[in-house]
Amino acid sequence: MTIATSFAPFRLKPWFSERVWGKTDLTPWFSDTGTTELVGEAWLTGPQCVVETGTLAGETLTEVSQKAGGEFPLLVKILFPADKLSVQVHPDDAQAAAMGETRGKTECWYVLEAEPGATVALGLKPGVGPKEVEASVADETMETLLMHVPVSVGDMLYVDAGTVHAIGPGVVLLETQQTSDVTYRLYDYGRPRELHLKKGLQVMKTQTAAGKIAPRQMDGFTRLIEQKYFVVDRFEIGGAGKITVPFEGQGCLVGLAGTGSIVTSDGDVELKMGQAVVVPAGASVTVETGSGATFMRCVAPVEKNR
């Protein structure tokens, strides 16, 4: 799906997803979630996110996307774990189709916050297969089968479909993924939530490409990851200035620090911390700041939009 270039860039209001492992306080990213329940995820480009700016204000991202004949290709979130997420796995596109799902779920995590010694679980230890995984659910030892990767602020981690993974407290992550919420829980630390062990064992892979991705310095920005489903880049403007940011494919800008504005035909759109501004494929936007800004560009490669 490609949102028509006749649509000016617009900012979305985050949608907050309540999770048993979440938090009540999401500062400094968000001061008000609209709920007193535990929030685990802020969906920045979720289907139900509402447009805040321009002529499309009040419409959901789904409604805007349907006008363009499809759906927005990337789901961008911020994750706020105060407790352990389940040990889980996602199918790839072919596996998802065989199970009656629309598509698989490949994702990546950019570390926004990390306490000293923080880790994420990414993949299985050598020699571990479905038999060992299934047995570990019964004896509650699955955590010992996982590769635990130390993380620091600024790290980018690739989580391809089929990777058994888990996230715990001590981190805040910006997640960019295929627009899919297909998750198979393998283990949930005894919490009374449904497990999907049979499906999970079918789609898990003993070896994957998951892991840390080294950043690459480009002309005016840092390329954090470039994969089949998404490209994520970090832009940093140190002081007053402006920069032109092109979009070959459909995507968004996400504010991380500082303040800036995006010049559009509908007027300037403020680039706010923790919020996404959707930019049409083929467009090029100018970001201006008076005192400096850091933001992400998350894009679906052109090949996925044809």
27: which residues sit within 8 A by CB, 6+ positions away? none
Q: Is 3 domain-assigned?
A: no
pLDDT in tens, 210-224: 999 999 999 999 999
Q: Is 24 domain-assigned?
A: yes
Percent composition of the chain: helix, strand, coil (DSSP 3-state, to 5): 15, 40, 45
238 pLDDT tier (thresholds 50, 70, 90): very high
CA distance 113 to 97: 35
Phi, psi of 47 (to 5 degrees): -55, -30
CA distance 155 to 119: 11
267 pLDDT tier (thresholds 50, 70, 90): confident
Q: Is 78 domain-assigned?
A: yes
Neighbour count for residue 36 (Cβ, 10 Å): 8
Say if residue 142 is in the same domain as residue 286.
no
Confidence at residue 6, expressed as pLDDT on a 0 to 100 scale: 63
Say if residue 192 is in the same domain as residue 244.
no
Flag whether pLDDT at 1 surpasses 80: no
Domain end: 174, 194, 212, which one? Answer: 212
What sign results for the dihedral spanned by CA atoms 231, 176, 130, 201?
negative
Total domain count, the chain? 2
Q: What's the CATH code of the domain at 293?
A: 2.60.120.10
Say if residue 193 is in the same domain as residue 248.
no
Say if residue 196 is in the same domain as residue 227.
no
Find tokens 């028509």 and name the residue. Answer: 4
Neighbour count for residue 32 (Cβ, 10 Å): 8
Q: Is 152 domain-assigned?
A: yes
Say if residue 154 is in the same domain as residue 56.
yes
Question: What pairs with residue 262 in β-bridges?
Answer: 269, 287
Secondary structure element (H or E) that encloses residue 61, with its range: helix 61-67
pLDDT in tens, 177-189: 999 989 999 999 9
Say if residue 185 is in the same domain as residue 232.
no
Question: What pairs with residue 105 in β-bridges?
Answer: none
Whole-prediction pTM value?
Answer: 0.95
Domain end: 159, 188, 212, which one? Answer: 212
Say if residue 162 is in the same domain as residue 225.
no
Residue 232's domain comprises 216-305
> Catalytic site residue 185?
yes
- And the tokens for 62? 């789904």
Say if residue 62 is in the same domain as residue 188.
yes
59: which residues sit within 8 A by CB, 6+ positions away? 50, 51
Q: Is 113 domain-assigned?
A: yes
Confidence at residue 303, expressed as pLDDT on a 0 to 100 scale: 64
Say if residue 154 is in the same domain as residue 231.
no
Strands 87-89 and 146-150: unpaired
Phi, psi of 267 (to 5 degrees): 110, 175
Q: Are 45 and 10 in contact (CB under 8 A)?
A: no
Q: Is 142 domain-assigned?
A: yes
* Residue 1 per-residue DSSP state: -
Q: Is 4 domain-assigned?
A: no
Find tokens 């940093």 and name the residue. Answer: 236
Say if residue 266 is in the same domain as residue 201.
no
pLDDT in tens, 138-163: 899 999 999 999 999 999 999 999 99
Say if residue 202 is in the same domain as residue 232.
no
Find tokens 């598509």 and name the residue. Answer: 103
Given the residues 19, 103, 185, 297, the one annotated as active site: 185
Q: Is 1 domain-assigned?
A: no
Say if residue 222 is in the same domain as residue 201.
no
Domain end: 186, 212, 238, which one? Answer: 212
